[in-house]
Amino acid sequence: QMIPKVEAYHKRKLSDKFFCVYLDAAYVPLRRETFEREAVYIAIGIKPNGHKEVIDYRIAPSENVENWTEMLQDMKSRGLEQ
């Protein structure tokens, strides 16, 4: 039931009205086939009124420039300009 909602979240149009965008990754243990730690990439935007919003997130086995590039290009194609 959640898969369509998560897919819609990752495809939604983004606002271009952010004062600041923070990018970070944290390693968390995820239960898939094993209990391995994977990188959760997160982009948090702060609007001029101070409201914080999770713009997007991704899960990958490790943190690298290719994953960041893909995530930023995807956010730009959905409307994030600054």
Q: Tell me what pLDDT residue 35 has.
A: 67
29 within a domain of the structure (yes/no) = yes
Q: Two tokens at 48?
A: 């001029």
Q: For 1-82, where are the E strands, in sequence order?
A: 20-31, 35-46, 52-60
39 within a domain of the structure (yes/no) = yes
**Whole-angstrom Cα distance, residue 42 to residue 19?**
17
Determine the structural domain holding residue 30 and report its residue range.
Answer: 2-62
**Whole-angstrom Cα distance, residue 44 to residue 50?**
12
38 within a domain of the structure (yes/no) = yes
Encode pLDDT of 9-60 as tens digits.
Answer: 999 999 878 889 999 999 998 877 776 889 999 999 999 999 999 999 999 9
Cα separation values, 32 from 16, 45, 52, Å: 35, 29, 30
10 within a domain of the structure (yes/no) = yes
Number of domains present in the structure of the chain: 1
